């Protein structure tokens, strides 16, 4: 039985929910957060929903105090929460930029800052950042999103170099087109165009991402750090 504790942000749906449920089934105690109250799609003693706004440092501070009192400070932190606000650059409003950077990049800073101290003290831990293939190859209409996700790559490498000597690994996972709410807006023609550009000729499943995250969280991945690993069916090879 695995007794490690995981904290994953943005766990109410999509990839975050899939990772949380997958890790809970593997025996991890999983605290999943979202900005509003939510319940997981499945019941498990290993799944704990927690309301938390990663853009609000007071909210994170309160959550950290609560988890410390309950002896639930995470051994593994998965920074998954992210939003999109797509628009061509010339039409992009200031708030489209600010909100996406605030959640997708600064939110990762906020959450990691609060919970890595305990890992450093324990000389053990995992930080896994969920990035995107958009941060590696760019995407029209996503200057804000791609910038934030590219920023996660630098965050991952720099932090990995700082905390490696304390037994903590820091890695990033870059999903491509995964069947979630975030791809459901595509019409059939757009989907077919995307699929034709993917060597494996299909969209990914959230489980494809969850399985890689589970590996990076495990003892077996103890010598992998500072990496950005794509789960994109070969869409972007670098």
Q: How far is CA 83 from CA 142, 171, 217, 235, in A?
A: 11, 20, 24, 22
- Determine the distance from the C-alpha atom of residue 76 to the mean position of all C-alpha atoms in its chain, rounded to a whole number: 12
Q: How far is CA 210 from CA 80, 118, 129, in A?
A: 11, 24, 12
* Residue 8 backbone phi and psi in degrees, to 5: -125, 125
CA–CA gap between residue 149 and residue 128 (Å, rounded): 13
CA–CA gap between residue 81 and residue 143 (Å, rounded): 18
First to last CA, the chain: 37
* Catalytic-labelled residue, pool 22, 28, 145, 223: 145
Q: Is 22 a catalytic residue?
A: no
Q: So which residues are the catalytic ones?
A: 145
């Amino acid at each position: 039985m695995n007794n490690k504790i995981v904290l994953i942000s943005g766990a109410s749906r999509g990839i975050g929910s899939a990772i949380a449920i997958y890790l809970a089934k593997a025996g991890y105690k999983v605290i999943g957060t979202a900005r509003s109250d939510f319940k997981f799609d499945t019941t498990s003693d290993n799944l704990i929903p927690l309301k938390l706004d990663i853009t609000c440092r007071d909210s994170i501070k309160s959550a950290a105090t609560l988890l410390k009192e309950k002896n639930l400070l995470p051994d593994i932190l998965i920074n998954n929460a992210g939003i999109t606000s797509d628009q061509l650059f010339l039409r992009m409003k200031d708030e489209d930029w600010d909100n996406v950077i605030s959640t997708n990049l600064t939110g990762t800073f906020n959450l990691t800052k609060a919970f890595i101290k305990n890992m450093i003290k324990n000389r053990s831990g995992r930080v896994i950042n969920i990035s995107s293939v958009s941060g590696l190859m760019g995407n029209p209409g996503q200057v804000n999103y791609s910038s934030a996700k590219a920023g996660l790559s630098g965050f991952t490498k720099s932090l990995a170099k700082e905390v490696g000597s304390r037994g903590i690994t820091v890695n990033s996972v870059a999903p491509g087109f995964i069947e979630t709410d975030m791809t459901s807006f595509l019409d059939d023609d757009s989907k077919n165009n995307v699929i034709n550009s993917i060597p494996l000729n299909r969209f990914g499943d959230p489980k494809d991402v969850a399985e890689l995250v589970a590996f990076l969280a495990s003892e077996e991945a103890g010598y992998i750090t500072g990496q950005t690993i794509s789960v994109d069916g070969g869409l972007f090879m670098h």
